[in-house]
Structure 1
Amino acid sequence: MRRKQWSGHGAQAVQHYLVHPRHLAGGGDLRHATEFLRASGWRDRSKARGPLVFDSPDRTVRVGYDPFIQPGGWTITGKPTAHQDAWHATFTRQTPVEIVSGFTDALTRPRSAHAPHVWAPLQQQGWTTERAPQFTATSPDGDAFVRFHQSGPGQAHWFAGARTEHGRTWDAMFTATTPMHLLQAFTTALADPQPVMRPRGHVPLSDRVRTTSVSVLPHELSAWQQARLTSARAATWARASGASARRAAFPGPYAPAGGARQRR
């Protein structure tokens, strides 16, 4: 029997669920994060049957996902540069990939000129904050939190996580040197009130999870995924074109447009 082409025509709709709140939606499809990195020009250095590994174009940041160790999950590491100390972030396996990608997507974009505010996205969505004993923000349902913890001089970390009636579902940790704009991207994705989609059989069993059943055609899923990747490729191309234009406009004192440099 001949296989049909991936066109979606004549294909049957597949049952999916919109899951709310997103912080209790479970891990999701890793490709939501990794394919965006690939489309943004990151190098895939993963080995067959091994952990996923992606390096930034300038080789200063590495994103990895390893399900073969305990507790397993995401590890993001930034090397020290002239303007940034080394930093480290981790997400356990059941962290919703849409929340992880809030952080990893931000790695592919230029840093905003505006000063970042980690707590603002949470407060705008009704998260409550308290300052003692550590500065903590808690979701309206009480099942997710973000905390800045400092046990002593030079011993500070950011923590986040979520729980259900069955216990803790995921944890995230960020060193104090993690760039603030990345932390704001994380809290923005965490506090986003929009539900996330999960296929049948991939919705966590919890009384605290609310779902809406939807029927989705395969070509609709493909179109949504491609739109996200197209935006990543377009942004990457625009940055590369802008950089090329700036180099052409300002060749520098040692590359005169007229050829060899003349001596006086």
Structure 2
Amino acid sequence: MKKKQWQGWGPGEQAEQHYLVQPRALAGGGDVRHVSEFLRASGWRDKSKTGGPLFMESPDRTVRVAYDPYVLPGGWTIHGRADGASGEWSAHLGRQAPVEIVAGLTDALTRPRSAHAPNVWAPLQEQNWHTRFEGEHYVATSPDSTAWMQYRRNPDGTAMWWTGAQDKQGNGWTAHFTPNTPMHLVQAFSTELASPDPVMRPRGRVPHSAQIRTWSVSVKPSQLSTWQQARITAARAATWARNSARSTRPRTTARAHAAGDSTRTRR
């Protein structure tokens, strides 16, 4: 029996071969637009130069996200400016860091912090990662030993978050975060790092590694566009909701101060 074709596909639209890749940490970099389009839909400014590396800035100009594949070692740089609550911080991720895992951190930059205290190790432990002390370092390793996350304390007193993935052939990536990187961002990153869900890569973009598992799938371009647009639409909706809440918030504090000043003047 022939499968009935979904009528939503465009006329003459041909399916393209893609692959689901697992574990996601070894899937390769992926499409940078997975990160950049979400940030743009969340109100971030795209300050990239034509033909140059990606460079985006948060609406309040306190955080910058850059991706430069044209230099060695290249990759992602995320920099946060010092403010009243925390000091300056930065994160650096290699070019082969999967965009889905990078987006764990960058998506979190667009959302308010949770009221709950962050726990970087909880998402890893929930996925049965092995956590332990190794000297001065606290380490988590994935069940297949291809990915890790560490909080490192060096002999000179410095510390940092160090993470990454590597197969037996030495292919992979590393990343490090300064110790004052906001913990909720590191937790958002570790959540995506530990996720068991596979990620999708087009034919020709799947790394050659004995440590990965792949499943071939046929995908229509319209399907890919729909999935990508759903992510962008969600970002726009969340941004609109936050902006609306700010604009309708009553200014009771300002009025109270004004009333107090008026009373003192009449005296």
Q: Give the TM interval when normalised to the shorter protein.
A: over 0.9
Tell me if the contact between 1:79 and 1:87 (Cα under 8 Å) persists in the aligned partners. Answer: yes
For the aligned residue pairs, the C-alpha RMSD in angstroms reads: 1.8
Q: Residue in 1 aligned with 2:193?
A: 190
Aligned residue in 1 for 2:237: 234
Runs of 4 or more above 4 Å deviation: 254-257
Greater shift, 45-54 or 153-162, is seen at: 153-162
1:66 is the counterpart of 2:68: yes
> Residue type matched to 1:81 in 2?
D
- How do 1:76-155 and structure 2 match up within 5 A? 76-133=78-135, 134-152=137-155, 154-155=157-158
**The residue matched to 1:131 in structure 2 has which SS?**
strand
- TM-score, normalisation: structure 1: 0.92
Partner secondary structure for residue 167 of structure 1: coil
| Letter of the 2:228 counterpart | Q
Instruction: Look up the equivalent residue of 2:104 and give its one-letter code.
Output: G
- Who is 1:8 aligned against? 10
State the partner residue of 1:30.
32
- Structure 1 segments unaligned to the other structure (5+ residues): 1-6
Match of 1:10, SS state, is coil
Instruction: Show the counterpart of 1:199.
Output: 202
The alpha-carbon deviation at position 153 of structure 1 amounts to 6.3
Q: Deviations over 1:232-261 (max 9, x none)?
A: 000000000001111x4536138979xxx7
TM-score, normalization by structure 2:
0.91
- Which AA in structure 2 matches 1:58? D
* Partners of 1:26 and 1:154 in 2: CA distance: 34
Is 1:178 matched up with 2:191?
no
Give 2:59's aligned residue. 57
Q: Which residue of 2 aligns with 1:158?
A: 161
Structure 2 unmatched runs, 5+: 1-8
Distance 1:183 1:205 in 2: 29
CA distance in 1, matches of 2:257, 2:44: 30
Displacement of 1:154 in angstroms is 4.7
Aligned to 2:213: 210
Pick from 216, 224, 228: which aligns with 1:225?
A: 228
C-alpha separation between the residues in 1 aligned to 2:246 and 2:147? 41
| Equivalenced residues, count | 255
> Where does residue 4 of structure 1 map in the other structure?
none
Secondary structure of 2:93's aligned partner: strand
The answer for the alignment partner of 2:252 in structure 1 is: 250
Secondary structure in 2 matching 1:35: helix
Q: Distance in 2 between matches of 1:18 and 1:52?
A: 26
Structure 1 position 50, deviation (Å): 1.1
Distance in 2 (CA, whole Å) between partners of 1:168 and 1:84 is 35
